[in-house]
Structure 1
């Protein structure tokens, strides 16, 4: 068992660790994990350091103390027995480095997400979930496993100021000002893809949400979350996690 770091780090870092560990376990709980091969990162407040998963650990096992602290170059800045996923931080480092609001970056290889990422037209305006996603969605073409530094500027150019990124033939990515915000965005993104795959399987003509309705999405998203974004649902998600798979906050 990993030794607790609670008394060795700042209170801000510990809270970031607890939230990120919870996000990893929630991703596993909802079935979006891909064994050990995707990643979520969060910036530690008031520092230039980041937390990422210990490579080789299942998401359902991750704890606050097992997370690895690294710098923007992906180098460990605190002792850890675990390596990190090099492809994981290639994608995340460029987004964290370019966008001040990108406090948390979440990436998945969910079956529904990858299925829609392989469709030429991407996310279709078929559902209320897609309605919100389409208000801030970008696409990035597949260039192989994300290991090459020269892919970074193209990924950043494609993402721009958007909060949802569909990595074609690869998966989904969300950006948030907090772990809670990035998680809620991913929940909506994944749901939009699941609905689309199921709707397409029905074999009937699909009804698209009109463009004039789509234009209201950002404003209505703020209304339904009471202006709190992901923070509205996050405490309830943590209670759910505590019932299903507690023990992450150690």
Structure 2
């Protein structure tokens, strides 16, 4: 490999990483904008392009609306900080959950985990997510469950978490929250939006009294129609960026 070729490849990877950094910082800002954040807790992460097993996660201590592309922390598969733009602390529980998915699923370019109230409420419901809305029915075929084992500090839990996630893109962490995984930040956030909206609708519907269930045929038809759900990111992400640029600019620095 010539010096010129190596320099070009390095520059290409640098630009690719900055794109991921900008998208992930935007996702943090969007979570805050939608009111899904939990002070400095919970995490969104993304794999860094390149041969190393590195990924980006929030510095432990910043609020989500403060996150910028340059403030994200780059860590390796052992949770060791590789690069930081300021705060270099990483929440150990965040590393446990996110490293499990990134290492266990090659297709998981991004992982998002929230403690938003409606998501936690549905995760604690005996029957989990119910087909009470079109939004929920679009999620059901993508959804898995993982039982609560305590604050995620035990690295042994990673094997069980990835086993329970399987090949799904959405998960309810029982008594804990929600998790989504996708090929990139836009797709993963789109899954997150649908799952959170389904949970919000369920909490409201069940607070109104007895609910109406659709037919099994309708549930199955919607499941079949949901197979391309992640592709909605091609429309949703540019629209979300326009929203964010008007409400919370500055994430891409």
Normalised by the length of structure 2, the TM-score is 0.91
Corresponding residue of 1:196:
202
Normalised by the length of structure 1, the TM-score is 0.92
The 5 A counterparts of 1:171-182 are 171-182=177-188
Indicate if the aligned counterparts of 2:171 and 2:180 stay in contact, CA closer than 8 A. yes
Corresponding residue of 1:3:
none
CA displacement at 1:132 relative to structure 2 = 1.1
Q: 1:183 aligns with which of 155, 177, 189?
A: 189
Distance 1:145 1:88 in 2: 10
Corresponding residue of 1:103:
109
Distance 1:174 1:167 in 2: 10
- Aligned pairs, number: 241
Q: In structure 2, the residue corresponding to 1:239 is in which secondary structure?
A: helix
Q: 1:114 aligns with which of 120, 133, 147?
A: 120
Q: In structure 1, the residue corresponding to 2:32 is in which secondary structure?
A: helix
Indicate if the aligned counterparts of 1:18 and 1:248 stay in contact, CA closer than 8 A. yes
Indicate if the aligned counterparts of 2:73 and 2:81 stay in contact, CA closer than 8 A. yes
- Cα deviation, 1:205-243, whole Å, max 9, x if unaligned, reads 2112222222233542356x6x83312210110110010
Distance 2:58 2:105 in 1: 21
Greater helix proportion: 2
Indicate if the aligned counterparts of 1:123 and 1:193 stay in contact, CA closer than 8 A. yes
CA displacement at 1:73 relative to structure 2 = 1.1
Q: 2:215 aligns with which of 189, 194, 210?
A: 210
Distance 1:131 1:218 in 2: 6
Distance 1:62 1:79 in 2: 12
Q: What are the ranges of 5 or more consecutive residues in structure 2 without an aligned counterpart?
A: 1-10
CA displacement at 1:201 relative to structure 2 = 0.7
CA displacement at 1:106 relative to structure 2 = 0.2
Corresponding residue of 1:39:
43
Distance 1:46 1:213 in 2: 43
1:127 lines up with 2:130 in the alignment: no
Q: CA RMSD in A?
A: 1.7
Corresponding residue of 1:237:
240
Q: 1:154 aligns with which of 144, 153, 160?
A: 160
Distance 1:56 1:26 in 2: 18
Q: What are the ranges of 5 or more consecutive residues in structure 1 without an aligned counterpart?
A: 1-6
CA displacement at 1:192 relative to structure 2 = 0.6
1:164 lines up with 2:170 in the alignment: yes
Indicate if the aligned counterparts of 1:222 and 1:228 stay in contact, CA closer than 8 A. no
